[in-house]
């Protein structure tokens, strides 16, 4: 298993922050209906992040990058009502995961993650997650938890 970085990148509470983001994004999924069927189907398939979580546990950088890419593509498909929230979730997840792994971002980004920016982004993540889960419940019949 890959060891977490030490030094200036390791800050108290950072690894728990990654776990919080992952937990906020995880949930129990149901059926899908409505005019947003394509997005709803993608959301149902990709929301839980099980493959990404497993890849992180294995330290599989290529699989981590692929998981981040799938979630980024999901954000790109989001309806206007939740597009900003999905983008916020995707960017924050990507930055948090990249900070504690050696993986590149969804589009191959390898620039260092700015911890101050990430810390600021963690605040609105819960609200964004609530907007997305509310949309999923109303428009898709998904109960994301």
Tokens representing 29 are 């999924």
- Per-domain boundaries in the chain: 13-140
Per residue, the 3-state secondary structure of 99-122, as one string, reads HHCCCCCCCCCCCCCCHHHHHHHH
Give the span between the Cα atoms of 113 and 100, in whole angstroms. Answer: 10
**Predicted pLDDT of residue 1:** 46
Element holding 6 (H helix, E strand): none
Taking only the tens of pLDDT, the chain with its 145 residues reads: 444 444 444 445 555 555 555 545 543 333 444 458 899 999 988 888 888 999 999 999 999 999 999 999 999 999 999 999 999 999 999 999 999 998 999 988 888 999 998 998 888 999 999 999 999 999 999 988 6
Residue where the block lists tokens 């979730």: 89
CB half-sphere exposure, 25, CA atoms < 13 A: 33
Q: Which residues fall within 8 angstroms of residue 117, CB to CB, at 6 or more apart?
A: 95
């Amino acid at each position: 298993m890959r060891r977490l970085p030490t030094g200036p990148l390791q800050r108290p509470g950072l690894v728990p922050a990654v776990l919080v983001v992952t937990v906020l994004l995880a949930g129990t999924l149901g059926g899908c209906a409505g005019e947003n069927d394509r997005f709803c189907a993608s959301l149902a398939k990709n929301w839980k992040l099980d493959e990404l979580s497993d890849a992180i546990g294995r330290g599989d950088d290529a699989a981590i990058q692929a998981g981040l890419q799938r979630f980024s593509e999901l954000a790109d498909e989001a309806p206007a009502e939740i597009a900003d929230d999905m983008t916020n979730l995707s960017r924050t997840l990507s930055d948090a995961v990249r900070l504690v792994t050696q993986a590149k971002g969804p589009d191959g980004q390898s620039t260092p993650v700015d911890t101050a920016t990430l810390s600021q982004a963690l605040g609105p993540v819960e609200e964004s997650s609530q907007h997305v889960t509310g949309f999923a419940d109303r428009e898709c019949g998904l109960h994301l938890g």
